Structure formats: structure tokens, C-alpha cells
Structure 1
């Protein structure tokens, strides 16, 4: 349809659909990543976050979800660590785009104060990168490692996952 002008409503209706999520990458004071085990998929480890609600920005989503899933106000200032892109899959028929924000380094007291939402997560773990490598599948670990490096190096990452 190149060269054919369409009213915005018609044009947008033809575009690929996508959902957007915001989340926080968090570590302890020794830079060991903190992850939460998903209720829906017990082999999946996640960071506090979730899909945007209508009228919400990715940052607002991350803040809201971080509070809902941990009981903590994880961060006050947005610092983007990366963008995560998942292609449509049979179980999720739209692109999924995530913005990963730096949630900082949590103190032992903050970690002890985390209250998981039992409808979302069943466990919290703090592990070194090498320990996570042994506990995660290769694709999930590459994503964790890319975000870990982005925080360490100060250069946001772009991480794409191909079609399943």
C-alpha cells in the first residue's frame, strides 16, 4: 500500500499487534541477580514486572508491578537497561516488547522485606551469575546475562528471541 494515504484509524488497524511490559532487574549488594519463580510456569524465573495497563507507560507499569509483586518501591528514577523482543508464538499471538529498568542493589533488609504475591510467584532466589547459568535454560540465561552486562557496562542491551 505504499503511497496510499489512509486515515490513522485504518492504518493502525493494519499494523502488527504487540503487548508491552515493564520490569526491574535487581541484585543484592554483591551484584547477584534476584529472580522470582513464576506460579504459572515453575521452570521460569522472572524479574518484578508485567504487562502495561491501558494509559500506563512502561516505567509506570514497572513501578506498579514491582510494588504489587514484592511490596517494595524498587526504584524512583527510570534507568533503562534493555529492550526485550519476543516474536509471536502459538501461545501468545502478538509481539511482546519489554523495557527492563535498573531496580538497583537491594540491601539484605530490603530483600528480607519482600512479600511475594502468591498469585504470581512462589519463590525468590539470589544467585551469582554462574549459579543462575546452572539453573536456567540457555535462552533464558543469555537474556539474564545481557541485562547483567548492560548494567555493569552502562550500555543498554537489545535482546531478541526468535519464533519458537
Structure 2
């Protein structure tokens, strides 16, 4: 079988495109996951601090920047990967999504109380047990939460590849 080698720009045009994101996962002193309620998404109402990478930004840099913008918390690192998340594009979003969820550690009661939310993005912060989160989240979101908690407890990063956009 013969192959025709393409110039890099032509080959790149044939490849799938993806948006890259980074997020920080925190728990409180009782090991309860901390999440923020999004003001802009009823589909995925509870989220971790994070967002889409800007040009030239790596996932860890994105996670740190977004966490600071969304909560006022400064995450020092070094980065500890808890999960890689992948989703295929769908009818409402033309790109695949690839992201990294990093461990932000445990927040003290003072740190939790000191969170300053960006009102354009989030209007509430809560720390609940994993079972308590289940009734507040779509099943897929809760499965991702369970995978990240398992990674936190085992030290083995999760690969969560069912974060597809709705077809």
C-alpha cells in the first residue's frame, strides 16, 4: 500500500479538532467533594473550578488560572493528575473535548468560607458526600465524580471517555 505524505498543514486539516480544558478537584476536611453551581448550564449544573484553555496554555495552567478566576483560590502544585476526560463532538458543540482534572487537595473550613465566586459563572459552592451529589447531577456527571473520587483514594488516575456532547 502506498501512502502519499502530506504537508503538515494539509495533514492537520484532516485530523479531529478538540477543545482542551483543565479543572481542579477539591474536597473539604471531611473528604466531601466541593463543587460550584453554574449559572449558565442547566444541563451540567455542578462543576469543579476549571475551563477551556486559552491559546498557548497547558491544561495545568488553565486549571490554575480558572480556579483563581472562579473562586479566588490559588493552587500551588505541583500538578497531580486525577483524571483525563474525553468527549466526542455533538449537535451543540463541533469539537471533541479533552481535559485534565487535577487534585487541589482538601480545603479547610476557612478556605471554603473564603471562596469568592464569579457571579457571571457560579452562584453557589457546596461540599456534599458522593451519594448526596447523585440527586443533584445527571448520571454521567455523577459517574465522572465517582471516577475522580476513586482516583483520589487509590492514587491511580482515571480515564473517563464518555463525556460526549449530545448527538
User: Shared fold (TM-score greater than 0.5)?
Assistant: yes
Distance 2:61 2:15 in 1: 25
1:8 paired residue number: 8
Change (3 A) 1:163 1:119: closer
Length-normalised TM-score, structure 2: 0.94
Displacement over 3 Å in runs of 4+: none
Give 1:6-155 correspondences, 5 Å limit.
Answer: 6-42=6-42, 44-155=45-156
2:78 aligned counterpart, secondary structure: coil
Aligned length: 164
Report the Cα distance in structure 1 between the residues aligned to 2:125 and 2:2, rounded to whole angstroms. 50
Query: Cα 1:90–1:68, aligned 2, differ >3 Å: closer, same or farther?
Result: same
8 Å Cα contact 1:74-1:104 kept in structure 2: no
CA distance, structure 1, for counterparts of residue 47 and residue 108 of structure 2: 19
SS of the residue 1:135 aligns to: coil
Per-residue deviation, residues 48-68 of structure 1 (Å, max 9, x unmatched): 000000011100000000000
Question: 1:156 aligns to what?
Answer: 157
Distance 1:75 1:44 in 2: 27
Going from structure 1 to structure 2, the CA distance change for 1:163 and 1:112 (only over 3 Å counts) comes to closer
Q: Deviations over 1:68-124 (max 9, x none)?
A: 000010342100001111110111111011100001100001001100001111111
RMSD, aligned α-carbons: 1.5
Checking the alignment, whether the CA contact within 8 Å between 1:82 and 1:159 is kept in structure 2 is yes
TM-score by length of 1: 0.95
Stretches of structure 1 lacking an aligned partner (at least 5 in a row) = none
1:114-151 CA-partner distances (Å, limit 9, x unpaired): 00001111111110111112222211100000001001
